[in-house]
Amino acid sequence: MNEELTSVNWVKNIIKRQEIDKYLVDGVDFINEYAISEQLAKNSDPDPIRIRDILQKSLSVKTLSPDETAALLNVTSEEMWDEVFKTALAVKKKVYDNRIVFFAPLYCSNFCINNCAYCGFREANNREVRRILSMDEIRRETSSVLKEGHKRLILVFGEHQRSDIDYMIDAVKAVYSVQEDAPHSGRPSSIRRVNINAAPMEIAKLKRLKEAGIGTYQVFQETYHHQTYGEVHPANTIKGDYQWRLYALHRALDAGLEDVAIGALFGLYDWRFEVMGLLYHTLDLEKRFGFGPHTISFPRMTPASGSDLSSDSPWNVSDEDFKKLVAVLRLSVPNAGIIVTAREKAEIKRSVLKLGCTQTDASTRIGIGAYSDQKTELDLDRKQFTIGDPRNLDEVIQEVVNMGFIASFCTAGYRCGRTGETIMGMLSHCDEGKFCKLNAVLTFREYLSDYASDETRQVGESLIMKEIGEIESLDYFKNKSHLLHKFRTDYSEILGGKRDLYL
C-alpha cells in the first residue's frame, strides 16, 4: 500500500465517535454560547460590594460560578481592577505560596496533517521545513536542557502518523533515559517529569501514555466558540472536530491519567468569552471527576510562518486586557496552576507573575532540534510561532528571586501520589503550598549548587535563608515535626552532595 493511502486510513481511524457521545448531555456539549453571552450581558456594570464578596469567595479557595466570573470580567473602574489584581496575588500566595515552577518545552516534530489557520506547522504551509527528531536527537536535546538545570520537560508534537503514540512513548522513554552531570557539582541529573502536549487521543492510547509515566497531559481547546473554531480549523481535518477536542481531557481522566491541563489560544475570539469557556471546562471536569484541571494556559497568538491571521487577528488581546484575563482566571479557579510561557515578552511575564502565575518556562527553544543547534531557532520556517522571551534559565531565575519568588523544580507530587483529586484537595485546603515550600527549597538548593551563576547563587541563598526562617516559624509545621526533621536532614544531605530528595 502506498504511503498516502495508509495515511488516509490512519486519519479515518483517529476519532472514536462513541468516546465523544458518552460525555454529551442530551446530545450537546457544555459550551452554550447563548448562556455565556447572557451571563456576560446581565453581569455588566457590577456593584463594587458584590465584586468584593466575589473576591472573598475566591480567597476561600472556591471555584467561582459563571455569573461571578462574568461580573469580574465586567469590572470597569481602575481602582476596582487594582483590588482584583491584588487579590489575585493574595490567592496565589495562599494556595501556592511564593513559588514559581520552571519547565522547558521540547518540540519533537513539526509534521502535521491539520490546517489550523494560526500555526506554522499546518500541512498547507509549504514554507515550513519539516523535521522529526530521532531518538538519538531527542536524547541530545534532553542533554542540552539538562545542562541548563531543568528537571521538567513538556514534549510537543504535531498530529501525524509519524509522531503517533508509539513515537511519543519512545520519546518519553528516551527523555527519562538521559543522565547529564551538573556543571558545578558533577552530580548526575535527569529529567524527573515529562509532560505531553499532543493532539486529542482515544482512551486506549491515553492508557499507554499513563503506563509510560507521563506527568500532565495538556490539550488547548484554542477557542471555545463553536463558530470561530470551525472557521480556523477546516472541517475536513481531524482538528476540525470541536467535540473530539473538547472531551480530550475527559478521556484522559477516564484512562487513568490524573493531571490534565486546559488552555485557550487568546486572539481567535473575544477574550472574555474564552475565560468563560475555560471556566465551564473546569466546572464540567469538577462535576464529573471531582476535581478540575491541574493547570490552565492562556497563550496569546504570536506571528507564525505563512499565517496572516497570527499577526493580524481582530481579536488580538492588548497587554492591559491580558493582565485582566490572567487575574480573573487566577480568581475563578483558585486551586489550578496557571502558566505564562515564553511567548510573552519579559516585561509582560514579570507583570503577570505578580498576578498569580505559578509556572513558567525559560531558556526556551521551539525550533525542532534547536537546543542542540541554535541556528534552527532563528528561522521562523522551522518553528511553530515566535517567542518573546529567549532569556536563559539563570537570568529568569535571578529575576524572579529578586521579585521575592522562589524557583521550584519540584516533581515530588506525581512521584508520591499527590496528583488528581488528592493534590486538588490539598490545594483547596491550602496545605499543598506549605508542603511544597519544603520541596521548592530543596530543589532550589540543588539548582544553586549545581547550575547557578555567582550572582544568582548569592541572591538565591539569601532568599533560601529567609524561606527556611519562615518554614521554621509556620504554625502548620508545629505539630508536624517529623516533616521539619526530614526537611532539615534532606537540606544538609543536599549540601553534602546527595540529590533528588523530597517529601
31 binds, among ligand SF4, ligand SAM, none (CB under 5 to 8 A by kind): none
- Locus of grid cell 489560544: 265
* Closest CB 76 distance from ligand SAM, rounded Å: 29
CA-angle at 293, arms to 99 and 171, nearest 5°? 85
Give the dihedral sign, CA 489/490/494/495: negative
Q: Is 118 an interacting residue with respect to ligand SAM (CB under 6 A)?
A: yes
* Closest CB 462 distance from ligand SF4, rounded Å: 42
Binding track, positions 154-183, relative to ligand SF4; x by CB under 6 A: ----xx------------------------
* Closest CB 368 distance from ligand SAM, rounded Å: 11
Q: Which long-range contacts (CB under 8 A, 24 or more apart) does 182-185 make?
A: 182/149, 182/449, 182/450, 182/451, 183/147, 183/450, 183/451, 184/449, 184/450, 184/451, 184/452, 185/449, 185/450, 185/497
Q: Is 197 an interacting residue with respect to ligand SAM (CB under 6 A)?
A: yes
Q: Is 445 an interacting residue with respect to ligand SF4 (CB under 6 A)?
A: no
Identify any residues that bridge with 101 across adjacent strands, giving them in sequence order: 359, 408
| Phi, psi angle pair for 339, to nearest 5° | -115, 125
Q: Is 239 an interacting residue with respect to ligand SF4 (CB under 6 A)?
A: yes
Q: Is 54 an interacting residue with respect to ligand SAM (CB under 6 A)?
A: no
Identify the residue among 43, 92, 106, 122 touching ligand SF4 (CB under 6 A): 122
Q: Is 116 an interacting residue with respect to ligand SF4 (CB under 6 A)?
A: yes
Burial class from Cβ neighbours inside 10 Å (0-12, 13-18, 19+) for residue 210 reads middle
- The continuous run of DSSP H or E covering 189 comes out as strand 188-189
Give the dihedral sign, CA 298/256/410/64: positive
* Closest CB 230 distance from ligand SF4, rounded Å: 14
Quote the DSSP letter at residue 333.
Answer: S
Q: How many residues bind ligand SF4 (CB under 6 A)?
A: 10
Q: Is 423 an interacting residue with respect to ligand SAM (CB under 6 A)?
A: no
Span interacting with ligand SF4, options 115-123, 244-252, 334-342, 487-495, rule CB under 6 A: 115-123
Cell of 291: 476535581
* Closest CB 221 distance from ligand SF4, rounded Å: 12
414 binds, among ligand SF4, ligand SAM, none (CB under 5 to 8 A by kind): none
Shortest CA distance to 80 belongs to which of 52, 44, 54, 39? 52
Q: Is 217 an interacting residue with respect to ligand SAM (CB under 6 A)?
A: no
Q: Is 384 an interacting residue with respect to ligand SAM (CB under 6 A)?
A: yes
Report d(CA 136, CA 159) in Å as an integer: 21
| Phi, psi angle pair for 23, to nearest 5° | -100, -15
343 binds, among ligand SAM, ligand SF4, none (CB under 5 to 8 A by kind): ligand SAM
* Closest CB 13 distance from ligand SF4, rounded Å: 17
* Closest CB 54 distance from ligand SAM, rounded Å: 29
Cell of 15: 476519532
Cβ pair 20, 244 in contact under 8 A: yes
Report d(CA 98, CA 89) in Å as an integer: 9
Three-state secondary-structure class, residue 160: coil
Q: How far is CA 109 from CA 112, 123, 158, 321, 363, in A?
A: 8, 13, 6, 33, 19
Q: Is 477 an interacting residue with respect to ligand SF4 (CB under 6 A)?
A: no
Q: 167 or 477: whose CB is closer to ligand SF4?
A: 167
Span interacting with ligand SAM, options 147-155, 216-224, 250-258, 325-333, rule CB under 6 A: 216-224
Span interacting with ligand SF4, options 36-44, 48-56, 114-122, 494-502, rule CB under 6 A: 114-122
What count of other Cβ atoms lies within 10 Å of the Cβ of residue 24?
13
* Closest CB 293 distance from ligand SAM, rounded Å: 15
Binding site for ligand SAM (CB under 6 A): 118-119, 156-159, 197-199, 219-220, 222, 265, 299, 301-302, 304, 310, 343, 384-385
Binding site for ligand SF4 (CB under 6 A): 112, 114, 116, 119, 121-122, 158-159, 199, 239
